[in-house]
Amino acid sequence: MINFDFLKNVQLVATESKIATPGRVSVSKQPAEGADLRLMKNGAIYPSEALVAKYNLEFPNRGVSSDAQGFDVFTGGAWEMYPAELENVVFIAAVSKSLPKVSLFGKCAYQVDDTPSSSVIEQGSVSAGKLVYAALHEAYGFEFAEDQQFVDLLIMEDISIPSPTNVFYIPKPLLSRKTGVKSTEHLRRDGIVVNPLVIYNPVVVDVCNDVPEGANVEESDDLSNEQVVFTEEAKADVVVENISENNQAAAAFDAQTSSFHNPTM
């Protein structure tokens, strides 16, 4: 039996109060440099500031005529115009926000004064992001790793899909409210540019080996931090080469897109 007499005259040491709180790591909503979109694991999706400026993605005030755009996102597997023999790919196309059923950044909530409730940079539409995730999973088999918070995406603007008539019929998912049966409808879009949407893979270069032509090496006292900075031309070449290794369909686009056809409507 322990003798607790020593506790009768114990004197505690004064310390500062420390309250344990669960830690939360803040994750930036902005994609990495060179990427266009950031898809969070919870489904929220955000555009880069450069993408917002380039495609005029910001929401206008309600009732104001605007040329603001959003994006249609869909897979080749669901697209009747896309040759069935080609590898499945996720596609993206900038379209007017005024069109029906725009997949991404098409709508927002408004304040009583008819201004947007949030910027397109901050909106983070979960329903739209889940559609993008489903497309990535279908075409590329993508799934979030257990500890992965987000994935960055790249629009391959150097590859576009032509239409013989400049008319496109874009697949849109349908869900019957009565039966719950899922199906697909194709909506007409005129004069749009359709590009592949791929998972962004930053170019990593081992400076101890060959450096791509057109790149400049920044000197550093710590060789482990030595970085390669690309000219725009060299960066584009390496990024496309890097992505093509993971998406073999890219190499077949130019050769086989002539087999596109209009679906029977």
Looking at per-residue pLDDT, the higher value among 74 and 245 belongs to 74
Helix, strand, or coil here: 223?
helix
215 in a domain, yes or no? no
Detail the DSSP E strand segments found in 117-254.
Answer: 150-155, 167-175, 182-190, 194-199, 215-218, 227-230
Q: Which tens digit of pLDDT belongs to each residue from 105-136?
A: 988 788 888 888 888 888 887 888 899 999 99
**Residue type present at position 71:** F
Contact 231, 215 (CB under 8 A): yes
Q: Is residue 223 part of a domain?
A: no
Residue 112 within any structural domain of the chain: yes
The pLDDT assigned to 214 comes to 53
Instruction: Indicate if the pLDDT at residue 156 is higher than 60.
Output: yes
Range of the domain at 81: 27-201
Domain count, the chain: 1
Rounded to 5 degrees, φ, ψ at 248 are: -65, -15
Residue 154 lies in a domain: yes
Query: What pTM was computed for the model?
Result: 0.69
CA nearest 43: which of 104, 130, 150, 108?
130
Partners of residue 15 on adjacent β-strands:
none
